[in-house]
C-alpha cells in the first residue's frame, strides 16, 4: 500500500480545494461565471489552480508507483515534501505583472525537479 503517497495526496488535495475556492470566490465577486473576462485577479486565480492540476496528478502517480515498487520511505517523503513546498510557493509567486517572482521560480523549479527525478527513477526501476 502507498501510505506515504496517501499522506501527500491528502495534503495536496486540500491545497487544490483552497485554490479552487479562490477561483469560485473571485467568480462571485466579479460575476463572471465562465472564462475570466477582463479580470486580472480572476485570471491569476484560475491559472494558480490550473497550473496545480496540470502538474500534481502526474507527480502523485509517479510517487505512488515508486512507493509501490519499494523505493525508500526517505526518498518518497523527500519527493512529497518538495512537491508540497513547491506547490505552495508557486501560486504565492504567480502575480499580475511579476513574471520573475522568486516564489514562482522556486515553485516551478521544485515541481520540475521532483517530476523529472521521479520519472527517471521510474524508467530505471523498470529496467
* 54-81 residue pLDDT tens: 999 999 999 999 999 999 999 999 999 9
The contacts of residue 14 (CB under 8 Å, 6+ apart) are none
- CATH code: domain 3-126 is 1.20.120.550
Summarize pLDDT for 6-43 with one digit per residue, the tens: 999 999 999 999 999 999 999 999 998 999 999 999 99
Q: Residue ranges per domain, the chain?
A: 3-126
Per the rule left: phi > 0, alpha: psi between -120 and 50, beta: everything else, 37 is: left
Amino acid at each position: 500500500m502507498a501510505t506515504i503517497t496517501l499522506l501527500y495526496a491528502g495534503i495536496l488535495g486540500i491545497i487544490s480545494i483552497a485554490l479552487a475556492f479562490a477561483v469560485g470566490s473571485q467568480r462571485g465577486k466579479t460575476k463572471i461565471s465562465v472564462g475570466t473576462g477582463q479580470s486580472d485577479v480572476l485570471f491569476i486565480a484560475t491559472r494558480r489552480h490550473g497550473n496545480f492540476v496540470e502538474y500534481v496528478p502526474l507527480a502523485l502517480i509517479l510517487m505512488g508507483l515508486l512507493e509501490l515498487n519499494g523505493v525508500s520511505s526517505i526518498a518518497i517523503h523527500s519527493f512529497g515534501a518538495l512537491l508540497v513546498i513547491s506547490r505552495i510557493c508557486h501560486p504565492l509567486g504567480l502575480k499580475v505583472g511579476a513574471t520573475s517572482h522568486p516564489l514562482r521560480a522556486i515553485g516551478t523549479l521544485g515541481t520540475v525537479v521532483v517530476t523529472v527525478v521521479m520519472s527517471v527513477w521510474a524508467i530505471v526501476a523498470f529496467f
